[in-house]
Structure 1
């Protein structure tokens, strides 16, 4: 090839054609790639700058996926919050249904006493309202004048009283001498019982020995060793004196003794018993005495007329006062009075009562009965009186209510005869009884038609009004809780006064012949007893009277905390800060979950509000609760659950708990790509290729516990408005938390979306910048391509022209 020689023009054309071909290839490459810089050889500066811009754009573009995921995580959290808000609203709806459900309790309340108070004036009081019982109209016994008729006086009856007792005596005993060996002399009280005989001695000549005894009325006196033996009232030493022995004998017998000048001992017993002496070992003979019983005797009999105190039966004695032996009653005797049989038994001789006591069978114990005992039963059966005169004569007198018919074996022993004693009567104008009407009196007097007797009673609130008749020798008894009225002087007014004293009532009186009893204010009036019918009353119980209410002015009322409320301290009055009407009272009670109402009788009722329906009113105190106060003795009525309402509320609790469970699961399901901002996860987003521009979004725990919510318990929650309101408060707080977090997540989402848009735009800027450095202008390159094609054609033509001269030479050579 080196041997080829090209002409200058050909070589020039060839070079031109090669240059054009190179340019055309470059242009075609640019048109094909769209870039004017395709390698560092094209333009190192632009190539590497564009490459850096493209790399940064690529890095940022890679971050857009994470940012997009972050947007979706926030969208999922926001969707979860929206659903949770709806569930909380649903729970609120359930709680509001509980509020609208009838109160789950019959609420606790306390009601004051009746008063004259009104809603506009709570300070007015009331007078006492008596609870009364009225008897039937009664007329005195002037309505039919009956005259009591006395029967014939019975035979005189004396008691069995004997003359006074005379003590028994041993008489003069055998004279006893001492053992003086020179001149034996009669003993004296100073004589020693036993000692050495000798001249001048003063000892018994024949003393007893140790161990011998003398027995006096059952008491044993024993002789003991001289000097060292026992010595007391029943033990005499041998070196004691005769006087010491006689003192011991007198103590045992209760009598006396003496020693005659001749040394004879005389023992005298007492008037209460015979004198009985004995011995062992012949001790009595040492003192000139003889064993035996020396009976007491009676003085001349001095019988006296019987009295009401005279016993129906009993042994005769100087102190006895019983019917004479021939007239004494036995257990076989009877006395029949107006169909009532009086029988006798004797507990002292083991003869028991033969049957039950009834209205027609009465029993008297002869072991203790007196004529007065018999009189009591006799008078009760006859309606009249059995009297004893000062001479011992018994007389039967009819009452004004009925005749008296008597029979029986006992009558003769009283000196009376069987038969009928007829009362007399005459018509008269009746008159209504008054307080001055006597309880007992003759027909025609201002006394009750049915006279009271000693056997009547009126029982008032467990205490008894009993009666006795001093004109019959009766006296007041001493029974506990019993007041005795004397029938000889007592009037209806006296009885009513005592009834008021026992019942605590006031103003019991007689009006229009009708007895009216007023119950006391502290207890019901309970009356019974045989005397009631004689006053026109019947047994029964009447409620206590309502006491006077002085009103609330100046009083204080304290109420303990109720249902978590503020304890109340109220002062009633018209001054500043005091309560005088219902509105002011309710204003004072509101903070303690209480409200007040007043009825037409002036009773103030305190009641818990719906919010505290399950709670009981706190402890009441203050002067308004003192005795006599409007709230004295007021008992708080405790709240009682309403089964139907509680069942409804329990159903709402179940619905609420289902909603709470959905809140839990919704919070757990609010995740995207494994990230749950409602379950405590954290989201971190990177916004630039260096990792220096980031955003960390902290999650929250929005399960029920995180929202401050919990499942409810039946019987504890929703039971009243107070417990329901607590649930609503928690729900409102949860709702506020959801709204606040939704706002926070929304703000974060806005930031993330802004950075997302920014990254997209920045990528565009970077890519545009890169393109500006490397992209070719297709119009320019197309024109260049066209020009180079033309240029290449011309060069080819020129090369052909240059080659024509060589062709010519070749032609010449041919």
Structure 2
């Protein structure tokens, strides 16, 4: 038999059931922190939030790869900084070697251009007499003229030669010049040689012309004469007038070699130089991170987004093999060998200085490239973190519940529930009134 409820009781029960259902839903929101817990609650918000959270999670997963890439770049950058310091130390070593004046520079002294008899006649030193002598045979006697109290004398170059030529070769450097012989003296010739930059000249107290190389390479010195400048240089190339100064033609054609004496200071610096050079290779090998070394030719690829194919955003950094050889820094020795720097040779030391300067330029270029790539990677790392946060926040805005609002709603429903329970009690009391008739 069906139970019949009065309208008041039925209304109170319906209200109480509705309130209980709403309270259960709000309690679920407070427990999960979301107002949309399934597609039933809001299909659009649910699937949109799911998509945003999925992309945020993918970007967060890329952060580890970006971080590893940044560390790889920084490791290479630190290696470059350390190698730069080593190259600076190599420069200091070369400067120490250069500061020790070479003892093996080629030197040639001619015969005396002045005699004691001339000194007695002129009351001058042998040196001054030699320096004041004219180059041309001004009295056309075809031989050296003696200096007197009234004449300076000459070294006997033919009067038909109105130009004096000079040809000096030191290693791969050649200096050639000509000047008028009119009134020119030995002092003018000395000054011209000193202008060459590859040799120096002076007249000593014995009245001898001395020529010395500024470096350690074989020195070829030729003096010539002719009616015209080009002809004078051509004559100088064969040492045509060398004999006038007590030199020989072979001093230009074959050259004067060094004495072969080695500098102990330079010899001691060779090991120091080579040890520093070896450390460049060792440092480059130790500049890797997690098995990737940009200074040993490895490549690192940093992915910035979750896409694939042509839509993928990434940074590819191709490293370079860094070594002393690749930087153009040769090993040092005490002798001239192919591919080595002879520390006893001034020209080789100068070449080493240029090579080290070039190495520093190369290192700065590599460092600049690494710095630019590091800046890009760090910027993308910060961007990825921020974007991931924005995506997560956007998803939360779609499905997250407002705790304050839901708590207030629950409190209101609890009040309504109490009222509904009271209404139900009153309705039941009304139905029970008929029992008083019995």
Q: Which residue number in structure 2 is paired with residue 622 of structure 1?
A: 224
Q: Which consecutive residues of structure 1, in runs of 5 or more, have no partner in the other structure?
A: 130-546
Q: Does 1:605 align with 2:222?
A: no
8 Å Cα contact 1:105-1:639 kept in structure 2:
yes
Q: Which residue number in structure 2 is paired with residue 54 of structure 1?
A: 53
CA distance in structure 1 between the aligned counterparts of 2:70 and 2:131, rounded to whole angstroms: 66
8 Å Cα contact 2:75-2:287 kept in structure 1:
yes
CA distance in structure 1 between the aligned counterparts of 2:134 and 2:378, rounded to whole angstroms: 70
2:322 is paired with a residue whose SS is coil
Q: Which residue number in structure 1 is paired with residue 99 of structure 2?
A: 100
CA-to-partner distance for each residue in 1:72-110, whole Å, 9 max, x for gaps?
111101100000001111111111111112214153324
TM-aligned CA deviation for residue 803 of structure 1? 1.1
CA distance in structure 1 between the aligned counterparts of 2:132 and 2:74, rounded to whole angstroms: 63
TM-aligned CA deviation for residue 754 of structure 1? 0.8
TM-aligned CA deviation for residue 648 of structure 1? 2.3
Instruction: Decide whether aligned partners of structure 1 residues 673 and 627 sit closer, same or farther in structure 2, where only a CA change above 3 A counts.
Output: closer
Selected match of 1:565 from 173, 177, 198: 173
1:596 is paired with a residue whose SS is strand
2:87 is paired with a residue whose SS is helix
1:712 is paired with a residue whose SS is strand
Selected match of 1:127 from 134, 137, 145: 145
Q: Which residue number in structure 2 is paired with residue 707 of structure 1?
A: 327
1:568 is paired with a residue whose SS is strand
Q: Does 1:549 align with 2:155?
A: yes
Q: How does 1:645-656 map to 2 (within 5 A)?
A: 645=263, 647-656=264-273
TM-aligned CA deviation for residue 585 of structure 1? 3.5
Q: Which residue number in structure 1 is paired with residue 402 of structure 2?
A: 777
CA distance in structure 2 between the aligned counterparts of 1:604 and 1:754, rounded to whole angstroms: 70
TM-aligned CA deviation for residue 42 of structure 1? 1.2
Q: Which residue number in structure 1 is paired with residue 281 of structure 2?
A: 664
CA-to-partner distance for each residue in 1:451-508, whole Å, 9 max, x for gaps?
xxxxxxxxxxxxxxxxxxxxxxxxxxxxxxxxxxxxxxxxxxxxxxxxxxxxxxxxxx
CA distance in structure 1 between the aligned counterparts of 2:17 and 2:279, rounded to whole angstroms: 82
Q: How does 1:99-178 map to 2 (within 5 A)?
A: 99-111=98-110, 113-115=112-114, 123=135, 127-128=145-146
TM-score with structure 1 setting the length: 0.45
TM-score with structure 2 setting the length: 0.80
1:105 is paired with a residue whose SS is coil
Number of aligned positions between the proteins: 386
Q: How does 1:415-454 map to 2 (within 5 A)?
A: none
Q: Which residue number in structure 1 is paired with residue 86 of structure 2?
A: 87
Q: Which residue number in structure 1 is paired with residue 364 of structure 2?
A: 739
CA-to-partner distance for each residue in 1:504-531, whole Å, 9 max, x for gaps?
xxxxxxxxxxxxxxxxxxxxxxxxxxxx
TM-aligned CA deviation for residue 660 of structure 1? 1.1
CA distance in structure 2 between the aligned counterparts of 1:3 and 1:700, rounded to whole angstroms: 92
Selected match of 1:695 from 315, 320, 325: 315
Instruction: Decide whether aligned partners of structure 1 residues 797 and 778 sit closer, same or farther in structure 2, where only a CA change above 3 A counts.
Output: same
8 Å Cα contact 1:557-1:625 kept in structure 2:
no
Q: Which consecutive residues of structure 2, in runs of 5 or more, have no partner in the other structure?
A: 115-127, 138-143, 148-152, 226-238, 337-341
CA distance in structure 2 between the aligned counterparts of 1:569 and 1:780, rounded to whole angstroms: 100
Larger radius of gyration: 1
Q: How does 1:670-685 map to 2 (within 5 A)?
A: 670-685=287-302
CA distance in structure 2 between the aligned counterparts of 1:708 and 1:626, rounded to whole angstroms: 43
Q: Which residue number in structure 1 is paired with residue 140 of structure 2?
A: none
